[in-house]
């Protein structure tokens, strides 16, 4: 789990059903622009809007649509359902799985460990998706999951630089452990501080721009990287306003990639659409 990994959207047709034809075209766009790995069924993928059957259908369609590496979020409130999705992910040849801690009911520490331990038995990398303020487990428990070899890394979504730094310090404790940032406004600071990359919403819309930022950082070109981060931040803010991830899908449409809109009750915001269009034009995208 390294480099720039788009947190991909889920394409919907006009009737809000899955649009498999749009999925392939969209993934081809990402591949043409240098993307090698995608993160599926996350927040940007509206996973919480999908039924179990739709998630299973999407996982199968995803693997048939591309030879990109795929990491699949199998988050469910029950271990039973998460294991069903994980098993299917392995069967279709996913390169890794990820999960938030259970979202609605709040299990004990023992229950959380058991949840992730069960998911770790499939023989492919397992990543914790830790979303500060929404679905989050404390660092001491993360440390235990790492030290016992249950998880291989974390996608950390946060606005707090001190919290990110504590996760990066965990990397220095001798355990092989990947840390990726899930906030596009912090890619510069995260990678400069030792993060392995980013799971990025903005990379859906402007993969070439976010990949350029990461390349400049790895080359040590801090001045140009900071300019690239400013451009990424501008676009991130434009697509994140309103009912997320509506702006991501609108921006893709303006780039010639139709993936439908978000599922109700989410909806597009017309004034946001004009901001997105203007931002893409300003960035020459």
* Contact present, 164 and 195 (Cβ < 8 Å): yes
**pTM summary value:** 0.95
Q: Is residue 235 within 8 Å of residue 254, measured between CB atoms? A: no
Give residue 245's pLDDT: 96
Mean of pLDDT values over 175-202: 95
Q: Is the pLDDT of residue 192 over 80?
A: yes
pLDDT band at 248 (very low <50, low <70, confident <90, very high): very high
* pLDDT (tens digit per residue) in 92-101: 999 999 999 8
pLDDT given at position 86: 97
DSSP 204-235: HH-HHHHHHHHHHHHTT-HHHHHHHHHHHHHH
Mean pLDDT of the chain: 94
Give the chain's end-to-end CA distance (angstroms, integer): 27
């Amino acid at each position: 789990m390294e480099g720039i990994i788009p947190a991909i959207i889920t394409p919907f047709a006009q009737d809000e059903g899955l649009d498999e034809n749009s999925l392939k075209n969209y993934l081809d766009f990402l591949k043409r622009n240098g993307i090698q790995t995608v993160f599926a069924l996350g927040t940007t993928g509206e996973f919480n809007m999908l039924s179990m059957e739709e998630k299973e259908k999407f996982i199968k369609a995803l693997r048939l649509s591309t030879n990109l590496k795929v990491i699949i979020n199998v988050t469910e409130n029950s271990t039973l359902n998460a294991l069903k999705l994980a098993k299917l992910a392995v069967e279709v040849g996913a390169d890794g799985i990820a999960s938030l801690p259970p979202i609605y009911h709040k299990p004990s520490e023992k229950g959380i460990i058991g949840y992730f331990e069960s998911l770790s038995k499939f023989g492919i990398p397992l990543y914790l998706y830790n979303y500060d303020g929404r679905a989050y487990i404390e660092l001491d428990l993360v440390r235990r999951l790492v030290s016992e070899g249950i998880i291989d890394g974390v996608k950390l979504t946060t606005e707090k630089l001190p919290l990110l730094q504590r996760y990066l310090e965990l990397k220095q404790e001798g355990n092989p452990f990947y840390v990726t940032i899930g906030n596009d406004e912090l890619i510069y600071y995260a990678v400069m501080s030792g993060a392995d990359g980013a799971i990025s919403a903005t990379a859906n819309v402007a993969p070439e721009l976010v990949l350029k930022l990461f390349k400049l950082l790895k080359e040590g070109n801090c001045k140009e990287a900071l300019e690239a981060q400013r451009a990424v931040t501008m676009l991130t803010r434009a697509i994140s306003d309103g009912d997320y991830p509506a702006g991501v899908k609108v921006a893709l449409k303006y780039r010639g990639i139709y993936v439908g809109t978000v599922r109700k009750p989410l909806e597009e915001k017309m004034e946001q659409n004009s901001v997105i269009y203007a931002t893409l034009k300003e960035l020459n995208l």
